[in-house]
Structure 1
Amino acid sequence: MSGATASWLADGGRLHLNHGPIDLIVEAFGEERERFLAYRQAVARFETILEELVAELPALRSPAGARARRFSGSTAQRMEEAVHAHLPAFVTPMAAVAGSVADEVLAALVKDRAITRAYVNNGGDIAIHLADGESLDIAIAGTGHGLADRISLSTADPVRGIATSGWRGRSHSLGIADAVTVLACSAAAADVAATLIANDIDLPGHPAVKRVPANEIDPDSDLRGRLVTQAVGCLSDPDVARALENGLSTAWAMRERGLIEAAALFLRGETRECGTISLGKLAYTAVPAVPSHSHAQKGLTHA
């Protein structure tokens, strides 16, 4: 695998960071010198993240337990902390990998810098920084409207992370959700919550749902022999409603525990919302969520 790369996108204002399966878009706002220094810090931190994760990958693929484990890398620590909050559910730290990487790079980006606004987008899992008095409009992928669907956040909002998950996204899912978008205090928290809510938007045993063991698709999957969704056929309106209500119950339970701020659940053109933060025009029209990475790029996909 080649090393980490950094390049400017065509607009000249956004930085593209890539290393194997990790693909980030980074943008910071502020005075030119502060932005330059911030980007340099982000690149320096990004260069070693993949190697750090690979070094602890066997443990990161193992389910979280009652006692939180001590990982060496700070990104791995973020992953463990995010999933540990959801026990006793079955979950491995890999459920928070994309969001945790986004959080880690964002933290490096803004450290000791006068940055007014910033974000790190890791395939649709977005970490956000807002200085006092600032606001930011975030385009949400995976809702079927391209970049037309947006969420407006201000400093007063507790949301600093957004994530979207579903069975047709880049990671395996136990459920049948077209998409679940979650707003939370961090990208890591949003990532694991979106994964688990999407898992629970399900119709166990339904004949229209094709499932295969995860390790038949990817021998290294953290889900091992658990059945993941590969195709969803015709569903009746009552089926869709029942599946969405299953996921909505999970979302409300998370919100009551303070794990998320809001969520929007999408299946076959139907939507359910949880929480008080407006999700604007979000609506789903049955298209794939975030673009998938090839499973040949081993190691950093999750449930």
Structure 2
Amino acid sequence: MISGSGANRAVPAREGPWASRGADRGRLRLTHGPIDVILDLAGPQATVAAAERRAARAFEGLLEALVAELAILRAPAGPGQPLPEGPVARAMTAAVAPFAAWFVTPMAAVAGAVADHLLAALWAEPGLTRAAVNNGGDIALRLGAGERYRIGISSGPQTASRPALIKIGAGDGIGGIATSGWRGRSHSLGIANAVTVLAATAAEADAAATMIANAVDLPGSARVTRRRARAVAPDSDLGDRLVTVAVAALSADERAQALDAGAARARAVIAMGRARAVFLALQGDSRAVGKVTETREVP
């Protein structure tokens, strides 16, 4: 199975890959073990069908290739880290390399890198006008001229805040969207309900969201309950590092302190060229950092 700081849900890969059609306008869904991908494609019907076949072919063997290199992918980024062989594994390694000064492993970019890989395969089919590969909420995106794509920026699970609606245009330079937080699909060192990152690729957005969510924190606070990652998931790439398992209600000052720390990390990541815009949410409070595209609150 695959699990870790940026991985999909840890589900044993007991069966081979399979494809199905959802009730949502017949979008193609590709599933294998922990990987669960939905394709949202626009273009002539025959073009969409051909692009779906390209994606299905690219999906074959993808999980097995990642599992074969798990030892490398779970190792901390930094000098001397072995270079994996597979294209998705290499994309994961490249996405986290700029963050080697902080603790991170290539697993922080696995969901985004898988989405990017499938997007590249299907976009090779001429004639598509829009393509989005949604891998458990991390999205790889490609838009044709004049196309726009709308996404909702959530405040995270179990919060009452209404999401903001973001409109992305073909010329905005955004090809990836990813969200991280302590109540998400993977473990976090921080306490953010949600950190959503818009970046050039989904792998970059995935890695950046993980790093920024880790920074939204109140170190040493009695309001935060933490456990060693291996006690929560024995195969976690986070080892004995403490991950957040509960956050009590925080005061306004505590929320501001944690969000300030996350916003500072977000500005650093944007300055590195690894993100374009970042949205941070913690218990009903939020921040936006970077160049934000058109937004409005969902009614």
Matched, 1:173 2:173: no
Stretch deviating more after TM superposition (68-77 or 103-112): 68-77
Q: Structure 1's 145 and 241: CA in aligned 2 closer, same or farther, altered over 3 A? A: closer
C-alpha displacement at 1:86, in angstroms? 1.6
Could you say what secondary structure the match of 2:95 adopts? Answer: helix
Aligned-pair identity (%): 49
Q: Structure 1's 107 and 12: CA in aligned 2 closer, same or farther, altered over 3 A? A: same
User: Using the alignment, how far apart are the partners of 2:172 and 2:61 within structure 1?
Assistant: 32
Stretch deviating more after TM superposition (66-75 or 107-116): 66-75
Could you say what secondary structure the match of 2:168 adopts? Answer: strand
C-alpha displacement at 1:27, in angstroms? 1.5
Match of 1:61 among 74, 77, 89: 74
Match of 2:105 among 82, 88, 92: 92
Q: Which amino acid aligns with 1:125?
A: D
Match of 2:263 among 248, 265, 290: 248
Is residue 215–residue 221 contact of structure 1 (8 Å, CA) maintained in 2?
yes
1:271-282 superposed matches below 5 A: 271-278=286-293, 280-281=295-296
TM-score scaled to structure 2, two decimals? Answer: 0.90
Q: Which amino acid aligns with 1:168?
A: R
Stretch deviating more after TM superposition (111-120 or 63-72): 63-72
Q: Structure 1's 148 and 179: CA in aligned 2 closer, same or farther, altered over 3 A? A: closer
Stretch deviating more after TM superposition (125-134 or 171-180): 125-134
Q: Indicate the residue corresponding to 1:301 in structure 2.
A: none
Could you say what secondary structure the match of 1:153 adopts? Answer: strand
C-alpha displacement at 1:116, in angstroms? 0.8
Deviation string, structure 1 residues 27-64 (Cα, Å, up to 9, x no partner): 11111111111000101111211001000001100011
User: Using the alignment, how far apart are the partners of 2:67 and 2:173 within structure 1?
Assistant: 32
Q: Which amino acid aligns with 1:202?
A: D
Matched, 1:103 2:116: yes
Matched, 1:7 2:20: yes
Could you say what secondary structure the match of 1:91 adopts? Answer: coil
Q: Indicate the residue corresponding to 2:136 in structure 1.
A: 123
Q: Which amino acid aligns with 1:50?
A: L
Q: Indicate the residue corresponding to 2:63 in structure 1.
A: 50
Could you say what secondary structure the match of 2:173 adopts? Answer: coil
Matched, 1:36 2:49: yes
Is residue 142–residue 164 contact of structure 1 (8 Å, CA) maintained in 2?
no
Is residue 68–residue 80 contact of structure 1 (8 Å, CA) maintained in 2?
no
Q: Indicate the residue corresponding to 2:177 in structure 1.
A: 162
User: Using the alignment, how far apart are the partners of 1:129 and 1:266 within structure 2?
Assistant: 26
C-alpha displacement at 1:72, in angstroms? 1.3
Q: Which amino acid aligns with 1:52?
A: A
User: Using the alignment, how far apart are the partners of 2:294 and 2:215 within structure 1?
Assistant: 21
Q: Indicate the residue corresponding to 1:80 in structure 2.
A: 93
Deviation string, structure 1 residues 179-219 (Cα, Å, up to 9, x no partner): 00100001110101111111000001100111000001111
C-alpha displacement at 1:112, in angstroms? 3.7
Q: Indicate the residue corresponding to 1:227 in structure 2.
A: 242
User: Using the alignment, how far apart are the partners of 1:210 and 1:174 within structure 2?
Assistant: 11
Could you say what secondary structure the match of 2:61 adopts? Answer: helix
Is residue 175–residue 200 contact of structure 1 (8 Å, CA) maintained in 2?
yes
User: Using the alignment, how far apart are the partners of 2:23 and 2:284 within structure 1?
Assistant: 34
Could you say what secondary structure the match of 2:179 adopts? Answer: strand
Q: Structure 1's 165 and 120: CA in aligned 2 closer, same or farther, altered over 3 A? A: same
Q: Indicate the residue corresponding to 1:136 in structure 2.
A: 149
C-alpha displacement at 1:278, in angstroms? 3.2
Is residue 108–residue 210 contact of structure 2 (8 Å, CA) maintained in 1?
yes
Match of 2:252 among 219, 237, 241: 237
User: What count of residue pairs does the alignment treat as equivalent?
Assistant: 283
User: Using the alignment, how far apart are the partners of 2:54 and 2:155 within structure 1?
Assistant: 30
Is residue 68–residue 84 contact of structure 1 (8 Å, CA) maintained in 2?
no
Match of 2:215 among 176, 185, 200: 200
Q: Indicate the residue corresponding to 1:218 in structure 2.
A: 233
Stretch deviating more after TM superposition (257-266 or 112-121): 112-121
User: Using the alignment, how far apart are the partners of 1:223 and 1:171 within structure 2?
Assistant: 11
Q: Structure 1's 69 and 112: CA in aligned 2 closer, same or farther, altered over 3 A? A: farther
TM-score scaled to structure 1, two decimals? Answer: 0.89
Q: Which amino acid aligns with 1:172?
A: H
Q: Structure 1's 183 and 38: CA in aligned 2 closer, same or farther, altered over 3 A? A: same
Structure 2 residue ranges without an equivalent (≥5): 1-13
Could you say what secondary structure the match of 1:224 adopts? Answer: coil
